[in-house]
Amino acid sequence: MTTTEAIIRAIKAVPAGKVASYARIATEAGIPNGARQVARVLHSCSEKYALPWWRIVRASGEIALTDADGGLLQRELLLEEGVFFKSARVVDLEQSGDY
DNA sequence: GCCATGGCTAGTA
DNA sequence: GCCATGGCTAGTA
Protein backbone atom coordinates (compact mmCIF):
# COMPACT_ATOMS: atom_id res chain seq x y z
CA MET A 1 0.00 0.00 0.00
CA THR A 2 1.41 3.35 -1.01
CA THR A 3 1.28 6.37 1.27
CA THR A 4 -1.25 7.95 -1.04
CA GLU A 5 -3.53 4.92 -0.61
CA ALA A 6 -3.07 5.07 3.15
CA ILE A 7 -4.07 8.73 3.13
CA ILE A 8 -7.12 8.00 0.98
CA ARG A 9 -8.26 5.33 3.42
CA ALA A 10 -7.76 7.62 6.40
CA ILE A 11 -9.82 10.38 4.76
CA LYS A 12 -12.63 7.95 3.93
CA ALA A 13 -12.69 6.79 7.55
CA VAL A 14 -13.85 10.17 8.85
CA PRO A 15 -17.57 9.79 9.67
CA ALA A 16 -20.26 12.28 8.70
CA GLY A 17 -20.79 14.92 11.33
CA LYS A 18 -17.11 14.87 12.32
CA VAL A 19 -14.00 16.61 11.02
CA ALA A 20 -10.31 15.75 11.19
CA SER A 21 -7.17 17.83 10.78
CA TYR A 22 -4.61 17.31 8.03
CA ALA A 23 -2.11 16.26 10.68
CA ARG A 24 -4.55 13.72 12.15
CA ILE A 25 -5.12 12.11 8.76
CA ALA A 26 -1.38 12.04 8.13
CA THR A 27 -0.76 10.32 11.45
CA GLU A 28 -3.52 7.78 10.75
CA ALA A 29 -1.80 7.06 7.46
CA GLY A 30 1.53 6.51 9.16
CA ILE A 31 3.16 9.78 8.12
CA PRO A 32 3.73 11.75 11.34
CA ASN A 33 4.70 15.02 9.67
CA GLY A 34 2.84 14.56 6.44
CA ALA A 35 0.10 17.16 6.68
CA ARG A 36 1.09 18.54 3.30
CA GLN A 37 0.81 15.15 1.67
CA VAL A 38 -2.80 15.13 2.82
CA ALA A 39 -3.28 18.53 1.18
CA ARG A 40 -1.77 17.17 -2.02
CA VAL A 41 -4.04 14.11 -2.04
CA LEU A 42 -7.14 16.20 -1.37
CA HIS A 43 -6.15 18.51 -4.17
CA SER A 44 -5.50 15.83 -6.75
CA CYS A 45 -7.61 12.81 -5.73
CA SER A 46 -10.86 14.07 -4.21
CA GLU A 47 -12.93 13.70 -7.34
CA LYS A 48 -11.41 10.45 -8.59
CA TYR A 49 -11.86 8.65 -5.29
CA ALA A 50 -15.01 10.40 -4.10
CA LEU A 51 -13.29 11.59 -0.95
CA PRO A 52 -15.26 13.42 1.77
CA TRP A 53 -12.88 16.34 1.30
CA TRP A 54 -15.10 18.76 3.20
CA ARG A 55 -14.47 16.90 6.48
CA ILE A 56 -10.80 17.89 6.58
CA VAL A 57 -9.97 21.21 8.26
CA ARG A 58 -6.93 22.86 9.82
CA ALA A 59 -5.71 21.84 13.27
CA SER A 60 -7.28 25.04 14.62
CA GLY A 61 -10.68 24.04 13.23
CA GLU A 62 -10.50 26.66 10.53
CA ILE A 63 -11.60 25.93 6.98
CA ALA A 64 -8.47 26.04 4.84
CA LEU A 65 -10.03 27.08 1.53
CA THR A 66 -11.02 30.63 0.76
CA ASP A 67 -14.73 31.25 0.36
CA ALA A 68 -14.31 31.74 -3.37
CA ASP A 69 -12.27 28.57 -3.71
CA GLY A 70 -14.78 26.21 -2.12
CA GLY A 71 -14.74 27.23 1.52
CA LEU A 72 -18.33 28.41 1.32
CA LEU A 73 -19.43 25.06 -0.13
CA GLN A 74 -17.43 23.23 2.54
CA ARG A 75 -19.24 25.10 5.29
CA GLU A 76 -22.62 24.26 3.75
CA LEU A 77 -21.78 20.57 3.49
CA LEU A 78 -20.58 20.43 7.09
CA LEU A 79 -23.67 22.25 8.37
CA GLU A 80 -25.84 19.70 6.57
CA GLU A 81 -24.07 16.93 8.47
CA GLY A 82 -24.69 18.65 11.80
CA VAL A 83 -21.18 19.93 12.42
CA PHE A 84 -21.00 22.78 14.94
CA PHE A 85 -19.21 26.04 14.15
CA LYS A 86 -17.59 28.49 16.55
CA SER A 87 -17.67 31.18 13.86
CA ALA A 88 -18.28 31.40 10.13
CA ARG A 89 -15.06 29.66 9.12
CA VAL A 90 -14.08 27.80 12.29
CA VAL A 91 -15.47 24.41 13.33
CA ASP A 92 -16.12 23.76 17.03
CA LEU A 93 -13.67 20.92 17.58
CA GLU A 94 -14.98 20.27 21.10
CA GLN A 95 -18.26 19.07 19.64
CA SER A 96 -17.48 18.00 16.12
CA GLY A 97 -13.79 17.19 16.08
CA ASP A 98 -12.05 13.82 16.27
CA TYR A 99 -13.86 10.51 16.41
C1' DG B 1 4.59 35.97 8.79
C1' DC B 2 8.27 32.51 8.60
C1' DC B 3 10.08 28.15 7.45
C1' DA B 4 10.56 22.90 8.20
C1' DT B 5 8.18 19.02 6.49
C1' DG B 6 7.72 14.79 2.78
C1' DG B 7 5.97 12.41 -1.11
C1' DC B 8 4.66 13.23 -5.89
C1' DT B 9 5.16 14.86 -10.67
C1' DA B 10 6.16 17.53 -14.67
C1' DG B 11 9.74 18.21 -17.33
C1' DT B 12 14.81 18.11 -18.37
C1' DA B 13 19.14 15.34 -19.49
C1' DG C 1 9.11 22.71 -7.20
C1' DC C 2 4.45 21.90 -5.69
C1' DC C 3 0.74 21.41 -2.01
C1' DA C 4 -6.30 22.99 0.75
C1' DT C 5 -0.28 22.58 6.88
C1' DG C 6 1.39 23.56 11.47
C1' DG C 7 3.58 25.53 15.19
C1' DC C 8 6.18 29.13 16.97
C1' DT C 9 7.64 33.95 17.20
C1' DA C 10 7.84 38.84 16.64
C1' DG C 11 5.52 42.79 17.05
C1' DT C 12 1.15 45.53 17.29
C1' DA C 13 -2.99 47.29 19.94
Q: What would the pLDDT profile of A33-61 be if each residue is shown by its tens digit?
A: 999 999 999 999 998 999 999 999 999 99
Give the residue nearest to nucleotide B7 (CA to C1'): A37
pLDDT digits (tens, 9 = 90+) for A88-99: 999 999 999 988
By residue range, what is the domain housing residue A23? 3-96
Q: Which stretches of chain A are assigned E, i.e. beta strand?
A: 20-21, 56-57, 85-87, 90-91
Number of domains in chain A: 1
Q: What is the mean pLDDT of chain A?
A: 94
Mean pLDDT, range A14-33, rounded to an integer = 94
**CA of A12 and C1' of C12: distance in angstroms?**
42
Is the confidence at residue A21, as pLDDT, over 90? Answer: yes
The integer distance in angstroms from the CA atom of A86 to the C1' atom of B7 is 34
Q: What is the CATH number of the domain that holds A43?
A: 1.10.10.10
Distance CA A76, CA A81 (A): 9
